[in-house]
Structure 1
Amino acid sequence: MKRAFSVEQPDFELSPLTGMNRGHYIEMAKYLLERAFLHINSINDPLTFPPVPGKTYPQPNDPDWRWRSLEFEALERTFTLAGPLIHVEPEVEIKGIKLRDYYSLQMYNAFTPGHPNSLPLPEDLPDSTYQFTCEFGGLFKTLLLMPDTIWTQFPEKQKEEMVVTISKWAHHRTTQNNWRIFNVVALSFLKKYGYEIDDELLKSHLLWVASYHSGNGWYLEQTYNYYSISLFIVYTTIWNRTFGDEFYPEIAEIIERSARKLMESLTSFFGRNGYINMWSRSICYRTWVSGAFPVAFMLKDGALIDAGFARRLCSGSLLQFVTREEFYYNDIPSLGFYGKKEYMVQNYSCPASPFLMFLPFICLALPEDSPFWTARENEGFWEGLGEKTKTVVLENPGLVLANHGKSGASEIIPGKVYYDDPNYSKLVYNTCFPWEDHDPTGGTSMEYSFRSLDPRDVRGDDINFYLTGLKVDNSSEKNKAFSISQSMVFNGVKGGVVYRQAFIRKPPNNGVGYIIDLADIIIPGGVIRVDRTRLAFEHELTLGHFGLPHINGEKAVVSRFNEGNKEVITATIKGRSVALIAYTGWDELDSVVHANRNAEADESTVVFARKKRLEKNPAMEIMITVMLHKTDDSGWTQEELSPIKEFEIMDVTPVFSTMGAKITLSDNKVYEVYFEEIDGHRRS
């Protein structure tokens, strides 16, 4: 077997950019399932994968139901590939095993009480929420769309036997927001095929789901993240076409409207080559957001995305991963991003979890004459972008998207962040420079890292600074480490400047003494940062650029120089380079080699700016920093490293705000950064 997938006999006439046509999607599905089926020997073996050491489940001493959960997740999530494959090739076999027969048998065993591989029923477990609910949602989403795969093959008696388990889990307790979709899908499937359900419960879940729509096509999950696309748009659009339009047309219209709104900005989340951005939790699901591309062709009034552009991005995102040898671990997609990385996954994931990344294979449910399959690949808006940068502002989820024609990279600039979590808290996420984990020694990539030098923190007393003299959960040992922002708010876009605020310590205990007011001026190939510190006590601060992985152990080449009123540091690896330019507000520029932080390599280089302020009452400061990136091997030119012609810092601005700046670019374009009433413009 090939060590990674490759496109054989590429169709460059239809797909000049990826070579991928419908047949290649089928070949890719078969290849991935062939690797997965190396873990079984016969049709009677339940599909399961070796546990991965670390924090993911199952753990060695887990109860039996956790192992059943692993098996069910493996069965359901590989069906994300197998279902569409059966739909287009009903007799398809993998390793001599007919897929339709295998999944029919294993589903029947799982849903028939008393079988050694049957799932526990909710009443057999403590009253809580369980992973089984999630997998039921995934399974019946596929079966709603493609019931011919296995459901219609079961005799009525077997269906009735299975419905007992299906119904109990469909009606069982769920958790907030996106999980309600799983119950909705399972309950709807039962109702569609004539089985009795609690209609009021289904309606209640639907109203709850619709209530989460926030605008711009986005839904509030635990925060704003990819779940908004993959579950709230992909799952529910399938639900619309297969059930909702008939039974709940008014709620279906809410979903339809939000899906159409999402499509207006969807393509801006992807790089020119189709790469997805490593952002938000559950990153081991990778390409599941690409499932929105085939869904665009399931909407009522036609797609809002050019079909050739949609398939180009969908194909490119899949090829981003499946063509890499390091992507596979135990012959299946690894728990990580490009390869197995413990720090990138959550404890609710198991070895089978990454198979959800193949949600885009619902494209095989589209007819062969769908424009998704017949249109010639193209690069959409990228073709006319040249070296300019296109920006999209999504006010409601607080996201700004930047598409850099100069580098082909797409960026997500988040504004509504509720966690000190690198999945969310980075200043920007870039498709060509996947994020790095936080380093408590400082210099964290694309973060402001803060360390208090306040003697009260150094001593570990009086955490609230309320003159109590008490030691209240203030660890002097913990305070020695750098921390990242605890949360972030979006303050809007004015005069071409993106305003946000990073909270280094959260209210109410800190008052307003730990705020960095952020102002981004997006320029081709990067950003000019004009940020204002309101850090009330002694502290140390670093600002890191994107991390550069040491591919095959080859270190980044770091260069630095001073010129006029600026200091410059650059770092370069093959095919990629970054430049950090400090104009004011910093003490020095430096670089650091991180271990076990980067998505692509075990070591990486980060260039960063650093400052210490040891006054008891530090003044507010403006920090002007330029962060540039490249995705080729060309050297940095003098022109590229001189984006600012001049700047003026003002104690009091013309709009009567304090500590602002006027920035004149090398092309004479002027930006005014005034932080006017910024605290009153918070949108969290």
Structure 2
Amino acid sequence: MKFEVKNPDYGKSPYTGMTKEHWLEACEFLLEGIFSGIESMEGQPVSRRVEFEVSYPNKNSSPTKASAERFEGLARSFLIAAPLLHNRPEAVICGVSVREYYKTRILEAVTPGNPNYLYGLQELLAMAKEGEDTFQHTCECASLVIGLDQCKGIIWDTYTAEEKDRIASYIREFAYGKTGAHNWRLFNMLILGFLHQEGYEIDRGVMRDHAQTILSYYAGDGWYRDGHRFDYYTPWAFQVYGPIWNRWYGYAEEPWIAGKIEQYANALTDSFLSMFDKEGHVTLWARSGLYRNAASSPFASAYLLNHTNVNPGLARRINSGALLQFITREEVFVNGVPSLGFYGQFLPMVQDYSCAESPFWIANPFVALTYPEEHPFWSAVEENGDWEQLGDWGAESSPHLHSPKGYTETIMNGPGIVSAHLGGNGACEFRTAKGLFKPGDEYIRYYIRLAFHSHYPWEAFDGQGAEAMQYSISYDGAKEALVPNIIMYGGVNDGVLYRKQYFDFYHNFQGGASIDLADFPVAYGHIRVDKMRIPNKPFTLTMGAYGFPEYQAGEKTQVIRRSCDGAEAVILKQDGRQLALVAYTAWESVETKERRGVNPAAENSILAYGKLRREKMYGYEPYVMISAVLSRTDDREWAEDELFPIRTVTFTDEEQCGGYGPVTLLMKDGRTVAVDYEGLEGHLMI
């Protein structure tokens, strides 16, 4: 099962061929998969599960979770159905009237005594586990009212006054119920906003308290700190629900707050363009990765604002590219619905708050389907932003890759993200910071990495030494290797990003093992100039590149070794793509190992990594580890200047160990890059 773009329009959409008609066909395609898996069309749209240990409901979850799963199926699939009904009120899927199905199921969901009743707040509180006082129903009520608004004349307006009151009474409980101290405040705001829009009285003080709290999370560059994290919840929650709330309530009733939400939304769309690659693809990063292309939503919801800076041709190109990234791949679908994974099923990226129906949130960008055909989002010719200026860097006739136009870079100090568009391979690669988790927390693997790459999803940690895109330290005698659990942002100075991370951080920094991180992009990837600060010895330290699939169409990946002026490179090569790890200083060897079950895109993978060892407690030995992680999307042999972009490295100390002072890199493109860690300790942010 996969979606195919039939009769693509490359005049209007030269990059994807996708028009509004194709988006509507995508809605029908997704609903066909959902409806084909429903056990009975008399029930809620619940999928056939294939996983029962991590996703809910499971043997450890609250009794409330059974109805929560049914509500997710109803409300989130409605986010696909409602935009379709807005355009095609008579839509029929699998022989079923979409309008009648959802009109009936929604009313049943709020009707006590009906087999499809989903329970009200007080009933959930009565059956909840000890300490459980917030419920997934709050989130799904928000999705429900978004859908009801999107097809208002098709479903909501056809209910009787009593039926509307019944729905309003049900959702009102959750509007005033306890909610999460993060993006969930927006769910309450939307429920209240919908009630207000439909003529029901609301408590304006409650609404204002939620709204001021949302504003207080703002960090800059369009990003909100969601709880204590920065992640895709800014684009797919804050920057979708905020504009909807503005339209329903904010502009008329809270203009100052609405103005801030609009200002922040425009700041986000300005900077967030940098986090999609040449194909408009999404990078796997942070929690809830199974929402996939929902990350592109703010480029669709921006047109709900009174004023937006978004280029409509680029907005549609990114949204269409991100949608096609997933729905055109057969492995994405299990039993007709998107899997619990990024591409195929992949449990290391699934959280226990997700169920089989959670991925239906990929529908968030479908808000654009409520815009008329003549709207700029649909009528503008697709554009590809700065990728058009970078050009086709993979062509034989391309200019020298290490010219100043070999990449573009966007700095977002608010969330501590620096993102690069790489002209050499068409990838987006971004480096993040401002992350803190307790040692051993599973969220470390989602957030704390040296970099994230649109072509190479992060790999799960296995605790057995080298890990993908992270340092790992093994102390002699320890049972398990350690990875950093805190990463701090030091800012960008003269083109170099500075960060710092600690291993096994608890309450203070004293005596902790840490790495000062310094890196900058080149056209094919990035250069690392990192300084170890590890007081206890003996230890073995490793640093992995990205995980690389071990096989392609049954053929084993080639492992190629090259060297140049003391630098050592390992190249992993398949037809049409190559990944290289190049080690310059401090690393004693560059090795590879095979791994299983840790890669979201392949069962078996290969990891290239650098390795060194320190045994002397206080010895003046090389401190600065210089490396390059590079990739390309063709079969051409790497030119020496491409694979080994550094001409010379000069340290301040006479021993050339990098114990103190600046490190100067003369690049083969003529640039001189100075890396200086002085003062980093005073500029770190979390």
TM class by shorter-chain length?
A: over 0.9
Corresponding residue of 2:76: 77
Corresponding residue of 1:100: 99
CA drift at 1:107: 0.7
Determine the C-alpha separation between the residues in 1 that align with 2:38 and 2:343.
25
Corresponding residue of 2:140: 135
Corresponding residue of 1:541: 541
Determine the C-alpha separation between the residues in 2 that align with 1:351 and 1:166.
23
CA drift at 1:199: 2.2
Q: What amino acid sits opposite 1:406 in the alignment?
A: G
Partner-residue secondary structure (3-state), 1:480 = coil
CA contact (8 A) 1:42 1:97 kept: no
CA drift at 1:195: 1.9
Q: What amino acid sits opposite 1:151 in the alignment?
A: W
Q: Does 1:572 align with 2:578?
A: no
Q: Which runs of 5+ in 1 are unaligned?
A: 459-478
CA drift at 1:509: 5.5
Determine the C-alpha separation between the residues in 2 that align with 1:63 and 1:658.
55
Which one is further off, 62-71 or 232-241? 62-71
Q: 1:220 to 1:312 in 2, by over 3 A?
A: same
Q: How does 1:324-473 map to 2 (within 5 A)?
A: 324-386=329-391, 387=393, 388-419=406-437, 421-453=444-476, 458=477
Q: 1:206 to 1:509 in 2, by over 3 A?
A: closer
Corresponding residue of 1:475: none
Q: What amino acid sits opposite 2:460 in the alignment?
A: D
CA contact (8 A) 2:521 2:527 kept: yes
CA drift at 1:294: 1.4
Determine the C-alpha separation between the residues in 1 that align with 2:305 and 2:556.
48
Partner-residue secondary structure (3-state), 2:652 = strand
Partner-residue secondary structure (3-state), 2:629 = strand
Determine the C-alpha separation between the residues in 1 that align with 2:659 and 2:181.
41
Corresponding residue of 1:225: 231
Q: 1:451 to 1:13 in 2, by over 3 A?
A: same
CA contact (8 A) 2:31 2:81 kept: yes
CA deviations over 1:442-499 (Å, ceiling 9, x no partner): 221111111223xxxx3xxxxxxxxxxxxxxxxxxxx322221111000011111110
| Residue from 193, 197, 200 that aligns with 2:198 | 193
CA deviations over 1:37-75 (Å, ceiling 9, x no partner): 012366422211123233111115755532111111001
Determine the C-alpha separation between the residues in 1 that align with 2:563 and 2:502.
32
Corresponding residue of 2:671: 669
Determine the C-alpha separation between the residues in 2 that align with 1:63 and 1:667.
59
| Residue from 175, 181, 187 that aligns with 1:176 | 181
Partner-residue secondary structure (3-state), 2:7 = coil
CA drift at 1:297: 2.3
TM-score w.r.t. length of structure 1: 0.93
CA contact (8 A) 1:290 1:314 kept: yes
* Root mean square deviation, CA, Å: 1.8
| Residue from 23, 28, 31 that aligns with 2:29 | 31
Q: What amino acid sits opposite 1:220 in the alignment?
A: R
Which one is further off, 217-226 or 64-73? 64-73
Determine the C-alpha separation between the residues in 1 that align with 2:407 and 2:318.
18
CA contact (8 A) 2:578 2:631 kept: yes
Partner-residue secondary structure (3-state), 1:90 = coil
Corresponding residue of 1:628: 630
CA contact (8 A) 2:429 2:525 kept: no
Determine the C-alpha separation between the residues in 1 that align with 2:311 and 2:85.
28
Q: Which runs of 5+ in 2 are unaligned?
A: 394-405
Q: 1:260 to 1:509 in 2, by over 3 A?
A: closer
CA deviations over 1:238-262 (Å, ceiling 9, x no partner): 1111221111111111100001111
CA contact (8 A) 1:516 1:532 kept: yes
CA contact (8 A) 2:90 2:99 kept: yes
CA contact (8 A) 2:82 2:151 kept: yes
Which one is further off, 599-608 or 569-578? 569-578
Corresponding residue of 2:399: none
Determine the C-alpha separation between the residues in 2 that align with 1:139 and 1:649.
61
Partner-residue secondary structure (3-state), 2:643 = coil
Determine the C-alpha separation between the residues in 2 that align with 1:516 and 1:633.
35
CA drift at 1:78: 0.6
Q: What amino acid sits opposite 1:487 in the alignment?
A: I
CA drift at 1:564: 2.2
| Residue from 265, 269, 281 that aligns with 2:287 | 281
Corresponding residue of 1:461: none
CA drift at 1:508: 3.4
CA drift at 1:618: 5.2
Corresponding residue of 1:316: 321
Determine the C-alpha separation between the residues in 1 that align with 2:480 and 2:541.
12
CA drift at 1:77: 0.6
Q: What amino acid sits opposite 2:547 in the alignment?
A: G
Moved over 6 A (4+): none
Q: What amino acid sits opposite 1:608 in the alignment?
A: Y
Which one is further off, 544-553 or 237-246? 544-553
Q: What amino acid sits opposite 1:627 in the alignment?
A: V
Determine the C-alpha separation between the residues in 2 that align with 1:523 and 1:61.
48
CA deviations over 1:189-225 (Å, ceiling 9, x no partner): 1122122333221111111011111111110003000
CA contact (8 A) 1:526 1:629 kept: yes
Corresponding residue of 2:401: none
Determine the C-alpha separation between the residues in 2 that align with 1:295 and 1:602.
36
Determine the C-alpha separation between the residues in 1 that align with 2:317 and 2:408.
19
Determine the C-alpha separation between the residues in 2 that align with 1:237 and 1:581.
45
Determine the C-alpha separation between the residues in 2 that align with 1:27 and 1:76.
20
Determine the C-alpha separation between the residues in 2 that align with 1:62 and 1:396.
36
CA drift at 1:105: 0.7
Partner-residue secondary structure (3-state), 2:85 = helix
Corresponding residue of 2:18: 20
Corresponding residue of 2:38: 40
Which one is further off, 172-181 or 500-509? 500-509
Q: Does 1:497 align with 2:499?
A: no
TM-score w.r.t. length of structure 2: 0.92
Percent identity, aligned pairs only, is 36
Q: What amino acid sits opposite 1:171 in the alignment?
A: Y
Determine the C-alpha separation between the residues in 2 that align with 1:394 and 1:627.
22
CA drift at 1:394: 0.4
Corresponding residue of 1:681: 683
Q: What amino acid sits opposite 2:408 in the alignment?
A: K
Determine the C-alpha separation between the residues in 2 that align with 1:260 and 1:562.
47
CA contact (8 A) 1:652 1:658 kept: no
Q: 1:187 to 1:626 in 2, by over 3 A?
A: same
Corresponding residue of 2:518: 519
CA deviations over 1:6-64 (Å, ceiling 9, x no partner): 00111122112211111100111101101110123664222111232331111157555
Determine the C-alpha separation between the residues in 2 that align with 1:41 and 1:99.
16
Q: How many aligned residue pairs are there? A: 655
Corresponding residue of 1:236: 242
Partner-residue secondary structure (3-state), 2:627 = strand
Determine the C-alpha separation between the residues in 1 that align with 2:350 and 2:554.
24
Which one is further off, 164-173 or 63-72? 63-72
CA drift at 1:413: 0.8
CA drift at 1:151: 1.5
Corresponding residue of 1:470: none
CA contact (8 A) 1:555 1:605 kept: no
Determine the C-alpha separation between the residues in 2 that align with 1:147 and 1:630.
48
Q: 1:595 to 1:553 in 2, by over 3 A?
A: farther
Q: What amino acid sits opposite 1:81 in the alignment?
A: I
Corresponding residue of 2:402: none
Q: 1:618 to 1:353 in 2, by over 3 A?
A: farther
CA drift at 1:154: 0.8
CA contact (8 A) 2:45 2:73 kept: yes
